[in-house]
């Protein structure tokens, strides 16, 4: 091969290598997720571990999710008021706030906040266990990491994120309410009545379904990157970063897919 | 002749282009204490991990009590083995007694109160009091962590125990105490033991037989009484800790 051939072929080789690498990564992640999700729905399930993870993932995330929701609800109300006033539609603030929070911003923002807090935490914890041979120790004690470590985290995140989103929905709507009544001169009773009459069960349920999917993604990405980490502290740090980035991208992508499905089925 | 409890034949293992094991042949009889010595990076830990089924060999056979070790039966075989890891590998999120009783709680389904009693009994065997039971691993010294690791390895009365550098990082007195505990507990169980160590004082104390691993193969094996007259230049260099000789220092 001449050096000219080599120079021409190099970009194609790089593209080919990157493509194969990406496909291999998708394959590994899919296989890992399939194995862990299988362990979530088949015995043995370590209930005490699931409950412990529910507290760690769900309960301790309440402050961050609540604060995010109240500020987003408040900012949303101001933005809708400003935009709506351009064509005399200020009265729709309660309707759009509740729709935006329940269908979109509640689950997506709670998901993104938990991607940062929980996914990174899981990846760092499992990564540290990997590099200190604790995962090998589990295996020598005949405990499967996918059952003892990963499945409880995935179950806990899948169950608790909808509960957190439900709380975020209420707090977010109240954030909008406080701004609308306090700063925009809305009547408090009319605001609440409009909100209650406008919101449907479908709005809430669609947000909760999204939350459950996002919860599974957050825990799976944390477990996957933690499980693959190697090389000491640097490897653990890299695993945490990759878990957050991967979870955030997958949350946004799956949000679009789920929204498309909900629109198509009329939910 | 007694059938070996563990037998490895022609085991090869590579990581990428690096060939670590190049045909390891090893056998351990029931109740025997075998110590594997060798320089850093010669594949001692990989040998143990292959024997435990934590790594799959690229070629060769591993038999435990006459049964070939495969991914499908590795869990069942591991129920009959114990392992003391170099760094202890204690679970940070659990207390000392939960670490020790892990196999009883999560594998054998023993009730927590009974498992805790068994854990405290086992901790006493490694000279740790009941006060240590409710501590977290991070609250223990290195020597105490090794003893907790030993208690976890022996609680389910295994037939074969692996020790990965059991005295690394310990002062000579604590190291000797850990060696005594290993000897005492292995003898009390009647178990076989496979130990990896660089510590020649440990080798002389706990070994019945010694195997030298070099460049991915066992190049010498013999009883501890023959260690000083092995006639093998690799073994002699290693035993006397000389930089000059056929083994290149891992710098």
**Tens digit of pLDDT for each residue in A70-116?**
999 999 999 999 999 998 888 999 999 999 999 999 999 999 999 99
Do B195 and B181 contact (CB within 8 A), yes or no?
no
Helix (H) or strand (E) holding A96: helix A93-100
A23 lies in a domain? no
The token pair at B20 is 């670590």
Nearest to B188 by CA among B236, B126, B95, B111: B126
**Residue among B53, B87, B102 whose CB faces A141 most closely:** B102
Residue B34 reports pLDDT greater than 70: yes
Residue A4 reports pLDDT greater than 80: no
A34 lies in a domain? no
Do B49 and B221 contact (CB within 8 A), yes or no?
no
B102 touches chain A (CB under 8 A): yes
Domain count, chain A: 1
Q: Which of B45, B50, B89 to mutate to test the interface with A (most CBs of A within 10 A)?
A: B89
Do A95 and A198 contact (CB within 8 A), yes or no?
yes
Q: Which pLDDT belongs to residue B96? A: 97
Query: Which residue segment(s) compose the domain that A186 sits in?
Result: 43-265
pLDDT in tens, A38-60: 999 998 899 999 999 999 999 99
The token pair at B214 is 């070099």
A148 touches chain B (CB under 8 A): yes
A35 lies in a domain? no
B61 touches chain A (CB under 8 A): no
Grade residue B198 by pLDDT with cuts at 50, 70 and 90. Answer: confident
Three-class secondary structure of residue A5 per DSSP: helix
**Residue among A134, A136, A142 whose CB faces B54 most closely:** A136
A29 lies in a domain? no
Do B31 and B192 contact (CB within 8 A), yes or no?
yes
The CATH number that domain B1-80+159-251 falls under is 3.40.50.300
Write down the domain spans for chain B. Answer: 1-80+159-251, 89-157
Q: Which of A139, A141, A231 to mutate to test the interface with B (most CBs of B within 10 A)?
A: A141
For chain B, percent of residues with pLDDT exceeding 70:
99
Could A137 and B106 be called an inter-chain contact, meaning their C-beta atoms sit closer than 8 Å? no
Residue B185 reports pLDDT greater than 80: yes
**Residue B23: other Cβ atoms inside 10 A:** 14
**Residue among B78, B91, B106 whose CB faces A140 most closely:** B78
A38 lies in a domain? no
CA atoms within 13 A on the CB side of B75: 9
| B169-173 contacts, C-beta under 8 A, 24 or more apart | B169/B142, B170/B142, B170/B143, B170/B146, B171/B143, B172/B201
A220 lies in a domain? yes
Could B81 and A141 be called an inter-chain contact, meaning their C-beta atoms sit closer than 8 Å? no
Grade residue A3 by pLDDT with cuts at 50, 70 and 90. Answer: low
Helix (H) or strand (E) holding A148: none
A43 touches chain B (CB under 8 A): no
Residue B248 reports pLDDT greater than 70: yes
pLDDT in tens, B210-223: 999 999 999 999 99
A77 lies in a domain? yes
């Amino acid at each position: 091969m001449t050096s000219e051939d080599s120079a021409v072929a190099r970009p194609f080789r790089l593209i080919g290598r990157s493509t194969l690498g990406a496909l291999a990564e998708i394959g590994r992640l899919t296989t890992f997720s399939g194995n862990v999700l299988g362990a979530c729905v088949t015995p043995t399930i370590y209930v005490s571990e699931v409950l412990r993870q529910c507290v760690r993932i769900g309960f301790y995330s309440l402050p961050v999710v609540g604060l995010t929701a109240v500020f987003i609800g408040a900012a949303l109300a101001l933005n809708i008021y400003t935009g709506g006033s351009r064509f005399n539609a200020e009265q729709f603030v309660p309707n759009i706030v509740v729709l935006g929070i329940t269908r979109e911003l509640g689950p997506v923002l709670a998901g993104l906040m938990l991607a940062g807090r929980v996914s990174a935490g899981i990846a760092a914890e499992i990564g540290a266990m990997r590099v200190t041979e604790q995962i090998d120790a589990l295996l020598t004690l005949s405990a499967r990491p996918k059952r003892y470590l990963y499945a409880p985290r995935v179950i806990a995140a899948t169950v608790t994120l909808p509960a957190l989103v439900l709380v975020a929905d209420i707090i977010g709507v109240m954030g909008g309410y406080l701004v609308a009544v306090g700063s925009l001169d809305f009547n408090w009773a009319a605001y609440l009545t409009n909100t209650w009459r406008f919101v449907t069960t479908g709005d809430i349920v669609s947000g909760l379904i999204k939350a459950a999917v996002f919860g599974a993604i957050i825990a799976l990405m944390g477990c996957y990157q933690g499980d693959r980490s190697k090389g000491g502290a640097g490897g653990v740090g890299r695993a945490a970063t990759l878990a957050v980035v991967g979870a955030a991208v997958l949350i946004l992508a799956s949000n679009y897919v789920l929204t498309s499905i909900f629109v198509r089925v009329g939910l | 002749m007694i059938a070996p409890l563990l037998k490895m034949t022609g085991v090869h293992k590579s990581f990428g282009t690096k060939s670590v094991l190049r045909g390891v042949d090893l056998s351990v009889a029931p109740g025997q204490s075998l110590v594997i010595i060798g320089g850093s990076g010669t594949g001692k830990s990989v040998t143990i991990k292959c024997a435990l089924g934590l790594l799959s060999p690229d070629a060769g056979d591993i038999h435990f009590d006459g049964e070939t070790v495969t991914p499908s039966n590795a869990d069942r075989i591991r129920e009959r083995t114990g392992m003391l890891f170099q760094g202890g590998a204690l679970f940070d999120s659990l207390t000392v007694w939960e670490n020790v009783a892990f196999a009883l709680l999560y594998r054998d389904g023993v009730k927590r109160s009974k498992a805790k009693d068994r854990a405290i009994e086992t901790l006493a065997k490694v000279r740790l009091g009941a006060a240590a039971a409710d501590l977290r691993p991070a609250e223990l010294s290195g020597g105490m962590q090794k003893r907790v690791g030993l208690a976890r390895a022996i609680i389910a009365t295994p037939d074969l125990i692996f020790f990965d550098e059991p005295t690394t990082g310990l002062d000579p007195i604590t190291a000797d105490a850990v060696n005594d505990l290993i000897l005492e507990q292995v003898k009390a169980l009647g178990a076989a033991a496979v130990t990896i160590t660089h510590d020649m004082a440990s080798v002389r104390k706990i070994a019945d037989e010694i195997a030298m691993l070099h460049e991915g193969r066992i190049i010498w094996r013999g009883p501890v009484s023959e260690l000083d007259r092995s006639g093998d230049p690799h073994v002699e260099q290693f035993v006397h800790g000389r930089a000059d000789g056929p083994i290149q220092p891992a710098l």
